Structure 1
Amino acid sequence: MNQSSPQQFVDEIISSLPEWGRNHRALVGLSDQTALLAEAAPSPFLKALECMFEGDQSGIVGLFTDRDDWSFSASGPYIQILWALEVLAWDPKLLNRTAIILAKLAELDPAPDSNKVNRPINSLRDILLTWSPNTHANLRQRIACIDIVLSEVPAVGWQLLVKLLPRSHDSFSPTQKPKLRDVAPVHHEELTFGVVWDAQHAVVTRAIALAADNEERAIVLVNSFSAFRRNDRELVLEYIDSYLIAHRCDEADPVWVALQAMAAKHEFYADSEWAMQGEELQRIRDLLDRHRPADPLYEHKQLFDEWLPHVGQYNETVDIEPDALRKEALARVLERDGPLGILELSKKAAIPSLVAQAIDIEQITQEHLITLLEAAARRPPIGDLALYASALGARRYEDVWSRLIEEKIFPLIPDAGERCYLLLGWPVNSQTWDFVELQGEEIRAQYWRRLNIFPQGDSHDELMRAVKEFRIVGRSIEALYLGHRRLAEFSSEIIMTLLSEGLIQSESKQSGTMQSYYLEAAFKELDGRDDVERFDIARLEYSYLPIIQDQQRPLVIYEQISENPHLFVEVLSHVFRGKNSPAREHVTEQEKNIASISFRLLSSFNKLPGASENSVDLPKLESWIADVRMAAAERDLAEIADQYIGKALAHSPRFETGGIWPPTEVCVVIENFASEQIETGFEVECFNKRGAYMKSMGEGGAQERALADEYSYRAAQTVKFGRTSAMLERISDSWNRMAEREDLQAEIDKLKR
Structure 2
Amino acid sequence: MRYVDDVVREVLSNMPNECNFIDYKQIPYKKEKYADFIKDVLAFLNCIESLDRDKFIIIGVENERLRKIGLKLGMPDDAAFQDLLDKISPRPCVSTGTISFENLDFGYICIPKTNNLRPYATSHSYPSNNPIVNAGTYYIRKGSKNTIADRYDLEKIFSLQNQELPILPSLKEETSREYSADLALFALIGGWNHTNHFDKEIIEKFIQEPYDSWIIRIKDVLQGEGSYINFHKNIWSTKGRETLIRNMKNSYYDYIFDDLQAVIVEVLSERNPKFDLRADERWLSKFYDKNTKYSTQLRTGLAEALPILSSMTDIFPNSSRVMLEDIISNTVHTILDTKNWEVWAGLEWYLPALAEAAPAVFIKSIEENILAVKQLFKETENDIVSRTYSGGLTRAIELVAWDPENFVHVCCVIVEVMNSEDSKEQSNLVNILSKILLPWRPQTLAPVSKRETVVKILLNEYADIGWKLLMKLIPGVITTTSSTYKPKWRTTVLDEVDHKITNLDYYLQNEIFLNLSIEYAESDSQRLIDLINVLDNISDDWRVKFLNVICADSIVARDDEYKYIIWERLSTVINRHKRYNHTDWAFSDIDIKRMEIMRDKVEPKALNVKNRIFFKSSRYDLFFSEDSKENSKQIFSFQVEAIKEILPTGLIELFKFNSEIEDSYSLGFCFGKVDQSSISCNDVFVFLDIKDSKKIDFIRGFVVGKYQLCGFDWIEEVAFQVMDKFQKAIIFAAMPFYIDTWILVENIMGDEQEEYWNLVDALPYQAVGLDDAIQKLIEFGCPIKAIDCITYQIDEGMRVPSDLAFKALTDATEELNGQRSVALYNTRKIIRYLQKQEGVAERELVRIEWMYLAIMGEEGLTPVTLERKLATEPAFFNEILCLAYKEKGAEKRVLTGKEETIAINAHRLLNSWRIIPGSEAIGELDKQKLTIWIDEMKEMAANSDRLDMGLNVIGGTLYYAPADKDGLWINKNVAELLNKREETIMRDAYTTKIFNERGAHFIDRTGAEEFQLASHYFEKADQLELNNFFRLASSMRELARDYERQGKIYIEE
Please report the TM-score for the alignment, with normalisation by the length of structure 1.
Answer: 0.84
Contact in 2 for aligned 1:305/1:350 (Cα 8 Å): yes
**Residue identity in the other structure for 1:385:** F
- 1:711 aligned residue: 1017
Contact in 2 for aligned 1:660/1:714 (Cα 8 Å): no
**Residue identity in the other structure for 2:399:** A
Q: Is 2:546 the counterpart of 1:239?
A: no
**Residue identity in the other structure for 1:276:** F
Which SS does the other structure have where 2:621 is aligned?
coil
Q: Is 2:820 the counterpart of 1:512?
A: yes
Contact in 2 for aligned 1:535/1:557 (Cα 8 Å): no
**987, 992, 1000: which is aligned to 1:684?**
992
1:345 Cα shift?
5.5
- Deviation digits for residues 692-720 of structure 1 (CA, Å, limit 9, x no counterpart): 3334xx54422222121111111111111
Change (3 A) 1:267 1:602: same
**Residue identity in the other structure for 1:351:** D
Q: For 1:31 and 1:74, how far apart are their aligned partners in 2?
A: 6
Q: Is 2:469 the counterpart of 1:160?
A: yes
**Residue identity in the other structure for 1:517:** Y
**631, 641, 664: which is aligned to 2:940?**
631
Q: For 2:811 and 2:432, how far apart are their aligned partners in 1?
A: 52
- 1:449 aligned residue: 758
1:195-206 to 2 correspondence within 5 Å?
195-206=505-516
- Deviation digits for residues 99-127 of structure 1 (CA, Å, limit 9, x no counterpart): 23212221320569887999654444333
Q: For 1:79 and 1:646, how far apart are their aligned partners in 2?
A: 49
**364, 382, 386: which is aligned to 2:699?**
386
- 1:618 aligned residue: 927
- 1:310 aligned residue: 621
Contact in 2 for aligned 1:481/1:511 (Cα 8 Å): no
Q: For 1:190 and 1:531, how far apart are their aligned partners in 2?
A: 75
**62, 71, 86: which is aligned to 2:401?**
86
Change (3 A) 1:438 1:673: farther
- 2:603 aligned residue: 292
Contact in 2 for aligned 1:671/1:722 (Cα 8 Å): yes
Q: For 2:344 and 2:980, how far apart are their aligned partners in 1?
A: 66
1:209 Cα shift?
1.8
Contact in 1 for aligned 2:329/2:361 (Cα 8 Å): no
Structure whose residues are more often helix by fraction: 1
Q: Is 2:666 the counterpart of 1:351?
A: no
Q: Is 2:366 the counterpart of 1:58?
A: no
**Residue identity in the other structure for 1:387:** R
Task: Identify unmatched segments of 5+ residues in structure 2.
Answer: 1-240, 247-307, 314-323
Contact in 1 for aligned 2:788/2:826 (Cα 8 Å): yes
- Deviation digits for residues 335-385 of structure 1 (CA, Å, limit 9, x no counterpart): 444495875664443333344566675x55676793883573489833212
**423, 441, 445: which is aligned to 1:132?**
441
Contact in 2 for aligned 1:492/1:526 (Cα 8 Å): no
Q: For 1:491 and 1:184, how far apart are their aligned partners in 2?
A: 71
- 2:360 aligned residue: 46
- Deviation digits for residues 279-308 of structure 1 (CA, Å, limit 9, x no counterpart): 332222112212211233555544432446
Q: Is 2:720 the counterpart of 1:406?
A: yes
Which SS does the other structure have where 2:551 is aligned?
helix
Q: For 1:348 and 1:323, how far apart are their aligned partners in 2?
A: 22
Q: For 1:700 and 1:501, how far apart are their aligned partners in 2?
A: 53
Contact in 1 for aligned 2:658/2:664 (Cα 8 Å): yes
**Residue identity in the other structure for 1:402:** E
Change (3 A) 1:369 1:184: farther
1:244 Cα shift?
1.8
1:666 Cα shift?
1.1
**697, 701, 709: which is aligned to 2:1007?**
701
Q: For 1:510 and 1:157, how far apart are their aligned partners in 2?
A: 37
Change (3 A) 1:108 1:37: closer
Q: Is 2:591 the counterpart of 1:280?
A: yes
Q: Is 2:782 the counterpart of 1:468?
A: no
1:587-666 to 2 correspondence within 5 Å?
587-612=895-920, 613=922, 615-655=924-964, 659-666=967-974
**557, 582, 590: which is aligned to 1:271?**
582
Q: For 1:249 and 1:668, how far apart are their aligned partners in 2?
A: 88
Contact in 2 for aligned 1:479/1:498 (Cα 8 Å): no
- 2:329 aligned residue: 14
Contact in 1 for aligned 2:475/2:510 (Cα 8 Å): yes
The root-mean-square deviation of aligned C-alpha atoms, in Å, is 3.9
- Deviation digits for residues 544-599 of structure 1 (CA, Å, limit 9, x no counterpart): 222233242552322222222222222221111221444445x3333222222221
Contact in 2 for aligned 1:301/1:348 (Cα 8 Å): yes
Q: For 2:1022 and 2:729, how far apart are their aligned partners in 1?
A: 75
Change (3 A) 1:592 1:431: same
Contact in 1 for aligned 2:964/2:972 (Cα 8 Å): no
Change (3 A) 1:659 1:100: same
Contact in 2 for aligned 1:609/1:621 (Cα 8 Å): yes
Task: Identify unmatched segments of 5+ residues in structure 1.
Answer: 748-753
Q: For 2:540 and 2:718, how far apart are their aligned partners in 1?
A: 60
Q: For 1:51 and 1:299, how far apart are their aligned partners in 2?
A: 55
Contact in 2 for aligned 1:420/1:446 (Cα 8 Å): yes
- 2:790 aligned residue: 483
Q: For 2:844 and 2:687, how far apart are their aligned partners in 1?
A: 52
Identity %: 19
Please report the TM-score for the alignment, with normalisation by the length of structure 2.
Answer: 0.61
Contact in 1 for aligned 2:395/2:485 (Cα 8 Å): no
1:134 Cα shift?
2.8
1:236 Cα shift?
1.7
- Deviation digits for residues 381-422 of structure 1 (CA, Å, limit 9, x no counterpart): 332121122234345332343223433xx35xx5x4344223
Which SS does the other structure have where 1:161 is aligned?
helix
Q: For 1:560 and 1:628, how far apart are their aligned partners in 2?
A: 13
Contact in 2 for aligned 1:333/1:342 (Cα 8 Å): no
Change (3 A) 1:305 1:715: same
Structure whose residues are more often strand by fraction: 2
Q: Is 2:711 the counterpart of 1:397?
A: yes
- Deviation digits for residues 413-472 of structure 1 (CA, Å, limit 9, x no counterpart): x5x434422321123345434443455566312212333316555753xx3332332232
Contact in 2 for aligned 1:100/1:149 (Cα 8 Å): no
Q: For 1:118 and 1:418, how far apart are their aligned partners in 2?
A: 43
Q: For 1:522 and 1:189, how far apart are their aligned partners in 2?
A: 62
Q: Is 2:532 the counterpart of 1:222?
A: yes
Which SS does the other structure have where 1:253 is aligned?
helix
Aligned length: 718
Q: Is 2:849 the counterpart of 1:547?
A: no
1:724 Cα shift?
1.4
Change (3 A) 1:365 1:674: farther
Which SS does the other structure have where 2:560 is aligned?
coil
- 2:26 aligned residue: none
Q: For 1:67 and 1:379, how far apart are their aligned partners in 2?
A: 39
Q: For 2:464 and 2:622, how far apart are their aligned partners in 1?
A: 39
1:184 Cα shift?
9.2
Change (3 A) 1:300 1:572: same
